[in-house]
Amino acid sequence: MITLTVHIYLLSIPTVQEGEPLVFGHLGWRDTVLIVDLEGSSMVPSDASEVFDEITEMDSTALFKPKVVSLVVTNSESGGPNIMTASWFMLAGYDPFRYLLSVSQRTYTYELIEENPEFVLAAPSGEMIDALSLAGTVSGRDVDKIDHLGLETVPGKDVDVPLLANAIGNVECSVMDSFEFENCTYYFGSVENAYVTSGGLDGRILSLEEDILAYMGSNWGDADADEKYRYHADLEPDDLRRFPDSKVHETLPEEVRETDE
Ligand SMILES: Cc1cc2nc3c(=O)[nH]c(=O)nc-3n(C[C@H](O)[C@H](O)[C@H](O)COP(=O)(O)O)c2cc1C
């Protein structure tokens, strides 16, 4: 449904009298509001602003949440183990499976990965909300974050980096490649081993019985906010829905339908 405001200039019918000029009396401008139902109508919006509210670049990041952000664990002989909160990571290939992680060159994590090119991506549980905040705002150069937060660790199997014992799961990665862009280094971490808490997977899906930390973002950048808040969504088992692909594929012509899953 869309609302259009139309400006109509109303004219009176001219009156003509002999010997007098033609005169148009006018009633003036009037705004008329039309409600147009786009469904079933051929009218296409000509501008995004008719359909959406425009948002800032920063607010565009809200569109791709919830996201399970990661606690990135690193370790080096001279530096010791450290954790850093990271949301800039993604799956970046599956032969071998690898994750691409962006690390600011200002972080201690960067120094540690440069010394020992391995890292662990830990998926935090809801009870690790303080770890997400602290590991994302304080540097391991200043505080031993693992010790301060009282986090339990387990030795990695194929990486010399510990796993976080209270996480939902951990992924051991060894750096197979990297590139620099602006002030970040992007590491491709090949998956060595991956773990989930016992019963944490429901088939291929993370079980919503687990206390997943589904991060929704923060009020960072709000000019009038005197305190910073972070938000997470509480996902319950009943929130999971299944949607079979087959239904929508049946709407396609037979020759373009996917036959193999
Ligand atoms: C939600 C969130 C996500 C973040 N994502 C990243 C990220 O992907 N890469 C990065 O370099 N820093 C990221 N940061 C910032 C680092 O966590 C932060 O600079 C941290 O203090 C670095 O710790 P370190 O110096 O001990 O390595 C993020 C912070 C928060 C709160």
197-251 confidence digits (pLDDT tens): 999 999 999 999 999 999 999 987 777 777 888 999 999 999 999 998 888 999 9
pLDDT at 124 over 80: yes
Ligand 1 pocket test target in 67, 72, 85, 101 with most atoms within 8 Å of CB: 85
Q: Minimum mean pLDDT among 10-19, 53-62, 142-151, 184-193: which range?
A: 10-19
137 C-alpha to ligand 1 centroid (Å): 7
CA 152–ligand 1 middle distance (angstroms): 21
The domain made up of 59-197+205-220+229-236 is a member of CATH 2.30.110.10: yes
pLDDT at position 225: 74
pLDDT of 64 over the 60 cut: yes
How far apart are the CA of 84 and the centre of ligand 1, in A?
5
| Domains of the chain, residue spans | 2-41, 59-197+205-220+229-236
Nearest CA to ligand 1 atom 31: 136
Indicate if the pLDDT at residue 72 is higher than 60. Answer: yes
Comparing 16-20, 176-180, 184-188, 194-198, the range with the smallest average pLDDT is 16-20
Q: What percent of the chain has pLDDT over 70?
A: 82
Residue with the bigger pLDDT between 22 and 172: it is 172
* Average of per-residue pLDDT across 92-109: 98
Most informative mutation of 58, 107, 134 for ligand 1 (most atoms within 8 A of CB) = 107
What pLDDT does residue 87 have?
97
Query: Ligand 1, closest atom to CA 112?
Result: 27
Assign 20 a pLDDT band (cuts: 50, 70, 90): very low
Complete DSSP assignment for the chain: -EEEEEEEEEEPPPB--TTS--B--EEEEEEEEEEE--TTS----SSGGGT-----TTGGGGGG--B--EEEEE--TTT--EEEEE--EEEEEETTEEEEEEEETTSHHHHHHHHS-EEEEEE-BGGGHHHHHHHTTS-TTT--HHHHHT--EE--SSSSSPEETTSSEEEEEEEEEEEEETTEEEEEEEEEEEEE-TT-EETTEE-TTS-B-EEEEE-TT-TT-SS--EEEE---GGG-----THHHHTTS-GGGS----
Lowest mean pLDDT among 60-64, 106-110, 224-228: 224-228
Nearest CA to ligand 1 atom 10: 103
- pLDDT, residue 203, reads 93
Mean pLDDT of the chain: 86
Q: Supply the pLDDT for residue 41.
A: 55
* pLDDT over threshold 80, residue 139: yes
Average pLDDT over residues 19-23: 42
pTM, to two decimals: 0.83
Expressed in angstroms and rounded, the spacing between residue 139 Cα and the centre of ligand 1 is: 9
State which of 84, 178, 180 you would mutate to test the pocket of ligand 1, scoring each by most atoms of that ligand within 8 A of its C-beta: 84
Residue ranges around ligand 1 (CB below 6 Å): 69, 82, 84-88, 102-104, 107-109, 136-140
Closest ligand 1 atom number to CA of residue 85: 17
What is the per-residue pLDDT for 260? 57
136-149 mean pLDDT: 97
- Testing ligand 1's pocket by substitution, the residue of 74, 87, 231 carrying the most ligand atoms inside 8 A of its CB is 87
